[in-house]
Amino acid sequence: MTTCSAPGKVYLFGEHAVVYGEPAVPCAIERRARVTAEKRSDAGLRVNATDLSLDGFTVEYGDGDGPPNVDAPRSLVEDGMSYVEEAVTQARDAAGDPEAGFEVTIESDIPLGAGLGSSAAVTTALIDAATRELGTPLAPREIADRAFRAEYEVQDGQASRADTFCSAMGGAVRVEGDDCRTVDAAELPFVIGFDGGAGDTGQLVAGVRRLREEYGFAATTVESIGALVRSGERALADRDLSELGRLMDVNHGLLSALGVSSRTLDDMVWAAREGGALGAKLTGAGGGGCIVALDEGDGARTALSYAPACQEAFRAELATEGVRVEDP
């Protein structure tokens, strides 16, 4: 039995545009998914997920093709299970053991589909745990690459390397196409607001793709996000928090122009700003879920905790460690 964990993340800058080769800077945060993999004597796959911000569910896959035995809403389970299945496929492939079966247990304090990288964290931690269980441990960069391939399959080729690389490596990272690097970033005063909801990453990414194909201004907006990220990198290197906040505000505006914000995300962004944040933006695919703000004091968190749109407000520390082995 092997247990590994991997962190979630927030996007300081660049989500969506990163899908089209522009740079992005996600930062890992200390909210983790823990995944235990135990090799079975047959080729079956059984998954227990007890704490994914939805009712606990158990899914049993036999080694045949029969439908899974499920005790939770099917669409939610199917979304989550696609990542699990692709991660197991990658682990089997890496270990050269296509018939390997597993008991998988997932515990996560990263809400599903809320922009904090829950699927990347589960995929990354599962690939690490399952390959170790098969006696073929992988280096974090290889895990990142395998996790990206799993996400790419699930999201029909509409995925960047940003979420999975960040989750595998930890800290702040910079991703531009296939060029993935860690960035030397000091601790940033992140505050997160969560509306209790979720967005559908596949649909949101497809919406931006359609808009970009239809209108030149949308393609220009995507390029503008890339230019903004380059300015943001300079501010990050100088640890110029007020410039970072200002650029986060602009990034939120550009994401809204691409149609991926929502009423509750906008309300939380404004609550954080009015509470004194240096800047605030949605994080991840959007549509609902989380915003990230920069605030050294307690004003933004307090304002968010009173905002009707916000279900939970918390401070998030940078997770300096990426995927790692845990005591079972």
Q: Which residues are catalytic?
A: 163
Report the nearest approach of ligand MEV to the CB of residue 148 (Å).
9
Report the nearest approach of ligand MEV to the CB of residue 43 (Å).
30
Report the nearest approach of ligand MEV to the CB of residue 260 (Å).
8
Closest to ligand MEV by CB, 102 or 148: 148
Report the nearest approach of ligand MEV to the CB of residue 139 (Å).
22
Q: What phi and psi values does residue 192 have, to the nearest 5 degrees?
A: -120, 135
Quote the longest CA-to-CA distance of the chain: 57
Cα–Cα distance, 167 to 16 (Å, whole number): 17
Angle in degrees, CA 29, 164, 9, rounded to 5? 20
C-beta separation of 80 from 70 below 8 A: no
Residues at the site binding ligand MEV, with contacts judged by CB under 6 A: 15-16, 18-19, 159-160, 162-163, 201, 205, 284-285
Cα–Cα distance, 313 to 321 (Å, whole number): 23
Closest to ligand MEV by CB, 16 or 273: 16
Measured from each CB, the residue nearest to ligand MEV is 160
At a CB cut-off of 8 Å and minimum separation 6, what does 101 contact?
39, 40, 41, 42, 43, 44, 45, 63
Closest to ligand MEV by CB, 159 or 185: 159
Closest to ligand MEV by CB, 226 or 275: 226
Q: Which two tokens stand for residue 239?
A: 């640890």
Cα–Cα distance, 164 to 108 (Å, whole number): 16
By CB atoms closer than 10 A (0-12, 13-18, 19+), residue 196 is middle
Report the nearest approach of ligand MEV to the CB of residue 192 (Å).
14
- In the chain, what is the straight-line distance between the N-terminal and C-terminal CA atoms, in Å? 8
Closest to ligand MEV by CB, 131 or 160: 160
